[in-house]
Structure 1
């Protein structure tokens, strides 16, 4: 039996209430993280393998326990080479240095502007070098999300680097089929919108036009603040008057109740399957559409969205190319999914080879393991997505659930204080003896 510890918030075989997911931040601030974590989990879910998740904790003090319990530590990452992630990156570095088992990083990337200028002499360089050196001391090769991240690590002095993309695109293995369900979009087409804050007025006006022009449009946010806005009506702190992202319940995006926040991969995929088109600045919001067979287009606004769109040949447009004349109908018409689908098998083969180079047995090539995973996920009774509190009839449930969660927290804190009191009494007694 192989025992794997994986960096993730939760297992796909756990049914966790959205209240708990938010309370424990099992999405690491962005629900898009659910997708690439589940894809890696599936890749490694062989019949003789057990996988536990870290809940996104990286405590160097747990190294001895990890060494004793597990055979390998697998770390799916996203845009980890950025200044705001330095603290977490260094914590993982400290942990990895203390581990004696293999440590494999799957799909890590850098985040900077679309000219990639900030990757030259970046403040994150020192932390990145220490992290990659620690990983490569315990694995054969590190997998990165795109060519620019590979070049960045090459320039830092590392050659054992391979571009594998983001594991999210391999959730369905070698299968990736996307087809337009309608010849053209009209007012009643099922359009889905996703957006990142601080996109600039022209892009924000584009999204506003899209929502106004399509009566069935749905907004699918991904940030933790968005989840709290939908769940409790709590305004976003970082959204200002000049920022197009919803800041409160009066926003165009959610005033009609047409917004959903997903806390599980399967429910998100199920929602996307009948949709006609997904458009936005969120890479995983659009990858969910593609995996569900629905056309999606990325509005690339930084290095992470651009390098993944380029690597996978996902239809995309740069944010600076959006004008006040750009329409979602025009973007739908010009989107071509042929190159993406034709190149998928080669990219998937590269991903499998990467896992094998690092000694990670995968399920691909064994149809029974693939079927077992998919069947188990299909039987899970996941909760519904979070909708808009003003459009919901379960306000009492949400308030009761919150009260229960914090009541439980108080009880746990009281129990810890009781144990601490007992310990302090023993120390005091020993000191008197």
Structure 2
């Protein structure tokens, strides 16, 4: 099958040099990232480095087919070019659109509506989710409603991040809707299963090689987390995803200031952000623009403990146990679907004896049940793609299983 893959990209979009019609030209190298401006520009291009995992997972799921990643900006720029969409329609059989928090009050999908109205081929929307449940039905922007109207009127398929999004889309009249989870979950299944096995270990609370993720520059929660787990002479390793463009984390100096050490993935320029003075541990802040390098770095750790979904998923892909703290509707929907053990932020933040609580929580994890759940979700994902016609080479073709039912919610005190 000839597949046009677009939407959220993998890190390989950094090599795209140009696009014309159905042809995309790549450079054989990445741009250097050294200065403050380089770092900020690269984060802005992807909006959040965790998004790289979505595009990477979508691309991996299409392995074995003739796949071309066509940047969405090229599709948008081609709207007014005569014959451009005819060329695309002749070159491809189906379009896969890698998505994330598209359904939200603050974003109007006007361009997406125009592109898919003009694209004369079936469309698979993979990984679509809702950012915030409250009032979405009343506050859905007109452009996003148009996007849904366009896809309702043509051959379209929705693979959602969870159950709530699926129910919402069914209410909107969409015919093929399957909750499958984020495509990043299935990038390296063996690593994911290994990470789940290792998580059921109360001794992880004594680990000192830990990756943290959260919202530095906005709240001090992650600093508290690090102080709970790390000894005074340990170093907190924090992974930035979008803080330098969204959460007022300021890299000091002018645009040309040396700010990034590529081999280690470390920010080397001084930083300024809210609550910074509360640190009582040494801390290194990292950012990665290459998921392979990110996983290699993560593979040296003992644990990932954080409030960012994809910051923990990439560590699991490397076979390292990760425990997420669910902070919003996005995370809750994804975690409810996949059934990974996790903590609820409101409960964890209020807990007075955090370390003892965490040790008890880890001791109660049923690793095999988590793995069984994960395996069922992967079969569900692969089967959905098979049903669409995107065959999964090397994957067993079982009888269609029932979609996994909602997993138990986060650990809560009796």
Under TM normalisation by the shorter chain, which class is it? 0.7 to 0.9
Structure 1's unaligned 5+ residue stretches are 236-244, 367-433
CA distance in 2, matches of 1:157, 1:5: 25
Give the match for residue 268 of structure 2.
Answer: none
Counterpart secondary structure, 1:84: coil
5 Å-filtered alignment, 1:242-391, equals: 247=273, 256=282, 258-322=284-348, 323=350, 325-327=352-354, 330-331=357-358, 334-335=361-362, 336=365, 337-365=367-395
Contact 1:74 1:105 in 2 (8 A): yes
Contact 1:103 1:139 in 2 (8 A): yes
Pair 286,68 (structure 1): closer, same or farther in 2 beyond 3 Å: same
After superposing the two structures, state which structure 1 stretch, 314-323 or 171-180, moved more.
Answer: 171-180
RMSD in angstroms over aligned alpha carbons?
3.6
Counterpart secondary structure, 1:117: coil
After superposing the two structures, state which structure 1 stretch, 92-101 or 272-281, moved more.
Answer: 272-281
After superposing the two structures, state which structure 1 stretch, 186-195 or 203-212, moved more.
Answer: 203-212
After superposing the two structures, state which structure 1 stretch, 335-344 or 254-263, moved more.
Answer: 254-263
TM-superposed CA distance for 1:219, in Å, is: 0.3
Give the match for residue 8 of structure 1.
Answer: 8
Correspondence 1:119 to 2:122:
no
Contact 1:290 1:296 in 2 (8 A): yes
Give the match for residue 172 of structure 1.
Answer: 188
5 Å-filtered alignment, 1:11-410, equals: 12=12, 14=15, 15-17=29-31, 19=33, 22-23=40-41, 27-46=45-64, 49-54=66-71, 58-59=75-76, 60-61=79-80, 64-69=83-88, 70-71=91-92, 72-86=94-108, 89-112=109-132, 116-121=133-138, 123-124=139-140, 126-173=142-189, 176-178=193-195, 179-180=197-198, 184-185=203-204, 189-196=208-215, 205-210=224-229, 215-223=234-242, 225=244, 232-233=251-252, 247=273, 256=282, 258-322=284-348, 323=350, 325-327=352-354, 330-331=357-358, 334-335=361-362, 336=365, 337-365=367-395
Larger Rg: 1
Q: TM-score, normalised by structure 2?
A: 0.72
Q: TM-score, normalised by structure 1?
A: 0.70
CA distance in 1, matches of 2:170, 2:177: 7
TM-superposed CA distance for 1:54, in Å, is: 0.5
CA distance in 1, matches of 2:30, 2:277: 29
TM-superposed CA distance for 1:318, in Å, is: 1.6
TM-superposed CA distance for 1:365, in Å, is: 3.1
TM-superposed CA distance for 1:105, in Å, is: 0.5
TM-superposed CA distance for 1:177, in Å, is: 2.2
After superposing the two structures, state which structure 1 stretch, 71-80 or 168-177, moved more.
Answer: 168-177
CA distance in 2, matches of 1:63, 1:332: 63
Pair 246,326 (structure 1): closer, same or farther in 2 beyond 3 Å: farther
Aligned length: 350
Structure 2's unaligned 5+ residue stretches are 16-28, 255-270, 397-414
CA distance in 2, matches of 1:95, 1:196: 33
Contact 1:8 1:56 in 2 (8 A): no
CA distance in 2, matches of 1:55, 1:81: 18
Partner deviation per Cα, 1:36-92 (whole Å, 9 max, x = no partner): 11111112132x514223065551336842441431321111111112322xx2211
TM-superposed CA distance for 1:355, in Å, is: 1.7
Larger strand percent: 2
TM-superposed CA distance for 1:289, in Å, is: 1.7
Contact 2:305 2:324 in 1 (8 A): yes
CA distance in 2, matches of 1:23, 1:303: 28
Contact 2:304 2:315 in 1 (8 A): yes
TM-superposed CA distance for 1:362, in Å, is: 3.6
Counterpart secondary structure, 1:158: coil
Give the match for residue 412 of structure 1.
Answer: none
